Chain A
Amino acid sequence: MAGIDIEGLATVYPNGVRAVDGLDLHVADGEFFALLGPSGCGKTTLLRTIAGLEAASEGTVRIDSVDVTRVEPGKRGVAMVFQDYALFPHMNVSENITYPLKVRRVAAATRSEVASHTAGELSLQGLLERKPAQLSGGQQQRVALARAIASKGKVLLLDEPLSNLDARLRLEARTFLKKLQRDLGITTVFVTHDQAEALALADRIAVMDSGKLRQLGSPREVFARPTNTFVANFIGSTPMNLLPGKVAASSGVEGAPRPTDTTSSQNGSAASSAAVGLVSVAGGSLPAATFSTPVGAEVTVGIRPEYLTVASGDVTGPALRGIVVVAENLGTQSLVTVDCDGTLVGVTVPEETEPAPGTAVALTAPATRVLLYDHDSGELLARQPAPVA
């Protein structure tokens, strides 16, 4: 088993596109790692550069501490599953799975042993004699995985492993994939443009944009504290509210509860809203943790719809006030859009508690969930340790 170290990696296509643009990345041994980003951001190119199918223009790739930047793909100890699975249509499942062994001239008896063992691992028993065309999409995907596993690589690379499956199968395959990776403990890098998939599967996520790394962290970190507005926008099934605002007070807000626990405002783990700062936004105001930005500075206020609460009665303290415009059913939740002084704000509420359109509501949020981004650069503004009262 092996980790992957990437330093200053750039991949430039002959047409001049810098698809990967100076990337540093470390994937730990046994980690399930996601490359996430919008279409065309260079995820596939990065994966292919790790595999050796594209030549790195700058930088180095190390697998298991060995520099493989100039090593042939077949000699890197890397197995890859392509987006279209790339099964050989004229070979049956068994031949497909053991093709890596055939290339290495492993005896036929050993090969059929490996085929039945790997097929068992991936619930493909009974299908060994079939041709790929006679398999369902999910089965084809498992054959492709089986072939990659049978090649006994140190690293497994998956390009959009779930994108060719229909929605229902995708959930099933997702669970299957995660369990398989846990059982095998093989270092795995997978590419996806679906943030939900990355959040669900990965130990860590690298969010990419235009060939550059925008954030690296655990699914929880990336979801709760996106370090820039790009990531904030991209992550989450309901988009984060990103609203223009102004710093109204950077600490010690009158009437707001004093912090009882300084760490709560730091890591956001406690629900007690220790409002120590204030931003005015969308005609109202929201509490925010202390930060060094001067009062009056323009900022972008980020707040997830999931972290906003609808209060129908009178609210004291900082809140946004507005009129419900529309409610969209998301299953167990509804996304309610509220018009706050001309700005549309999304908020999720539990099913069957949606306020009717036209209702006047107030929205509140805990200070720890309100994120402030630099108005120009879109970078998250650093919080400061709250002064001990």
Chain B
Amino acid sequence: MASASAPARGRAPARDVAGLGVGRALGFVAPAFLLIGAFLIFPAVWTIYIGITNYRLTGVEAVSPSIVGLSNYTKALNDALFHNALWLTLVFVLGSAIIGQNILGFTLAWIMRRTRPAVRRTVEAFVLLAWILPSTVVAYLWVAFYDRDGGTLNGLLGTQGTAWLIDYPMACLVVFNTWRGTAFSMMLYSSALQAVPPSQLESARMVGASGWQTLRDVVFPHIRGHVLTNTLLISLWTANDFSPFLLTKGGPNHESETVPVYIYNVALQGGELGYSSAISFLLLIANLLVSLVYLRLLRRRS
């Protein structure tokens, strides 16, 4: 229709598959571009801009911030608390995402493969529940679980009076986030395992391969791409996750202050909006670098 009527109006016929022409096609995507621009691109660019100012929450600089160049970034390079936050984020990502969620998710998927559908669906429902509950609700449950007085964990272990969130804050966060995020890995690996032809697993079984040999020689080569994709996604989500704040607020004494929590504390407790924006930008760059490495690994597979 469009391409038939277009020449009559003196325009070149549309060459695209849908026959829309560039103008109308742009018209269709414009609302999406507007929304993305307003809520994604603009804040990102604004963050970069604030990052080179001395903008503060209160005081003179809140009214008339001035450009300070890269001094926020040089400050970050020498900021021991920022280094601490980076290290804790690395521990958090390694412990709860790359190791915790990945391995627990895969193990669950591997076991569920052979169980009865009823059992499988029940387990999946419970694991998914951890994934879909709002962070605040979940955080409240875990604070109650770890609580010093009358906490469930102390009740279970008979260790009344142990303040888990104060004595072992990072370990608590790793366990919490492993629990919270495993559902995604489990679901992803469940569907990935369906792509392994059963006859190949049975071939391995026929020649007497052990469970570990089967995983290494048959299963893993088939799901390598899935492992990489899953690890990329959960690493990024975990690195940017703010829910540690809901459990420990970064404390005690910065012992569980991951980068997102540090950014929040710098911006809203310290009031240094310019400096926190600079750190946000550094986190963004780190995310980008990690993504690039993963994408390269993924591409090398094919």
Nearest B residue to A148, CB-CB: B206
Q: Which residues of B contact A73 (CB under 8 A)?
A: 202, 205-206, 208
Q: Which residues of A contact B221 (CB under 8 A)?
A: 88-90
Q: How far is the CA of A72 from the CA of B214 in the complex (A)?
A: 15
Q: In the complex, how many residue pairs between chain A and chain B have their CB atoms under 8 Å apart?
A: 58
Q: Which residues of A contact B64 (CB under 8 A)?
A: none
Q: How far is the CA of A325 from the CA of B217 in the complex (A)?
A: 61
Stretch at the interface among A76-84, A291-299, A309-317: A76-84
Contact of A80 among B206, B209, B218 (CB under 8 A): B206
Task: Let me know if A100 is at the binding interface, CB within 8 A.
Answer: yes
The interface bits of chain B over 210-225 (1 if a CB of A lies within 8 angstroms of the residue's CB, else 0) are: 1001000110011000
Q: Which residues of A contact B203 (CB under 8 A)?
A: 80, 82, 86, 88, 147
Task: Let me know if A151 is at the binding interface, CB within 8 A.
Answer: yes
- Nearest-neighbour CB distance to chain B for A202, whole angstroms, equals 22
- Nearest-neighbour CB distance to chain B for A102, whole angstroms, equals 8
Contact of B209 among A53, A74, A89 (CB under 8 A): A74
Nearest B residue to A14, CB-CB: B116
Task: Let me know if A99 is at the binding interface, CB within 8 A.
Answer: yes
Contact between B197 and A86, CB atoms less than 8 A apart: yes
Task: Let me know if A103 is at the binding interface, CB within 8 A.
Answer: yes
Chain B positions 182-203 with a Cβ under 8 Å from a chain A Cβ: 197, 199-200, 202-203
Q: Which residues of A contact B204 (CB under 8 A)?
A: 99, 103
Task: Let me know if B207 is at the binding interface, CB within 8 A.
Answer: yes
Contact between B199 and A74, CB atoms less than 8 A apart: no
Contact of A84 among B197, B207, B209, B213 (CB under 8 A): B197
Contact between B197 and A99, CB atoms less than 8 A apart: no
Nearest A residue to B207, CB-CB: A100
Task: Let me know if A168 is at the binding interface, CB within 8 A.
Answer: no
- Nearest-neighbour CB distance to chain B for A347, whole angstroms, equals 44
- Nearest-neighbour CB distance to chain A for B235, whole angstroms, equals 25
Q: Which residues of A contact B207 (CB under 8 A)?
A: 74, 79, 99-100, 103, 151
Contact of A86 among B202, B208, B209 (CB under 8 A): B202
Contact between A99 and B217, CB atoms less than 8 A apart: yes
Contact between A74 and B205, CB atoms less than 8 A apart: yes
Contact between A51 and B208, CB atoms less than 8 A apart: no
Q: Which residues of A contact B197 (CB under 8 A)?
A: 84, 86
Nearest B residue to A77, CB-CB: B208
Q: How far is the CA of A89 from the CA of B223 in the complex (A)?
A: 12
- Nearest-neighbour CB distance to chain B for A54, whole angstroms, equals 10
B-side binding surface: helix, strand, loop or mixed? helix
Interface size of B by Cβ–Cβ distance < 8 Å?
A: 17
Q: Which residues of A contact B222 (CB under 8 A)?
A: 90
Contact of B208 among A53, A90, A104 (CB under 8 A): A104
Q: How far is the CA of A51 from the CA of B202 in the complex (A)?
A: 10
Q: How far is the CA of A51 from the CA of B200 in the complex (A)?
A: 15
Contact between A84 and B208, CB atoms less than 8 A apart: no
Chain A positions 27-65 with a Cβ under 8 Å from a chain B Cβ: 51, 53
Contact between A74 and B206, CB atoms less than 8 A apart: yes
Nearest A residue to B203, CB-CB: A86
Contact between B199 and A86, CB atoms less than 8 A apart: yes
Nearest B residue to A144, CB-CB: B203
Q: Which residues of B contact A99 (CB under 8 A)?
A: 204, 207, 217
Nearest A residue to B221, CB-CB: A90
Q: How far is the CA of A88 from the CA of B219 in the complex (A)?
A: 10
Given A84-B199, A86-B200; A78-B206 close (CB under 8 Å): yes
Q: Which residues of B contact A79 (CB under 8 A)?
A: 206-207
Q: How far is the CA of A51 from the CA of B208 in the complex (A)?
A: 12
Q: How far is the CA of A80 from the CA of B218 in the complex (A)?
A: 17
Chain A positions 301-352 with a Cβ under 8 Å from a chain B Cβ: none
Q: Which residues of A contact B200 (CB under 8 A)?
A: 86, 88
Q: How far is the CA of A91 from the CA of B199 in the complex (A)?
A: 16
Q: Which residues of B contact A83 (CB under 8 A)?
A: 199
Q: How far is the CA of A78 from the CA of B207 in the complex (A)?
A: 8
Contact of A103 among B199, B202, B209 (CB under 8 A): B209
Q: How far is the CA of A82 from the CA of B205 in the complex (A)?
A: 12
Contact between A72 and B208, CB atoms less than 8 A apart: yes
Contact between B218 and A88, CB atoms less than 8 A apart: yes
Contact between A88 and B205, CB atoms less than 8 A apart: no
Given A88-B217, A88-B218; A82-B199 close (CB under 8 Å): yes
Q: Which residues of A contact B213 (CB under 8 A)?
A: 103
- Nearest-neighbour CB distance to chain B for A76, whole angstroms, equals 9
Q: Which residues of B contact A151 (CB under 8 A)?
A: 206-207
- Nearest-neighbour CB distance to chain A for B105, whole angstroms, equals 23
Q: How far is the CA of A79 from the CA of B218 in the complex (A)?
A: 18
Nearest B residue to A159, CB-CB: B199
The interface bits of chain A over 151-164 (1 if a CB of B lies within 8 angstroms of the residue's CB, else 0) are: 10000000000000
Q: How far is the CA of A86 from the CA of B200 in the complex (A)?
A: 5
Q: Which residues of A contact B209 (CB under 8 A)?
A: 74, 103
Contact between B217 and A53, CB atoms less than 8 A apart: no
Q: How far is the CA of A368 from the CA of B247 in the complex (A)?
A: 92
Contact of B202 among A53, A85, A100, A147 (CB under 8 A): A53
Q: How far is the CA of A91 from the CA of B208 in the complex (A)?
A: 18
Nearest B residue to A104, CB-CB: B208
22 contacts between A and B (CB under 8 A): A72-B208, A73-B202, A73-B206, A73-B208, A74-B205, A74-B207, A74-B208, A75-B208, A79-B206, A79-B207, A80-B203, A80-B206, A82-B203, A86-B197, A86-B199, A86-B203, A88-B217, A99-B207, A100-B208, A103-B208, A104-B208, A151-B207
Beyond known contacts A74-B206, A85-B199, A99-B207: 17 more, CB 8 A cutoff: A53-B205, A53-B206, A72-B208, A73-B208, A78-B206, A79-B207, A80-B202, A80-B203, A82-B199, A88-B203, A99-B204, A102-B217, A103-B207, A103-B210, A147-B203, A151-B206, A151-B207
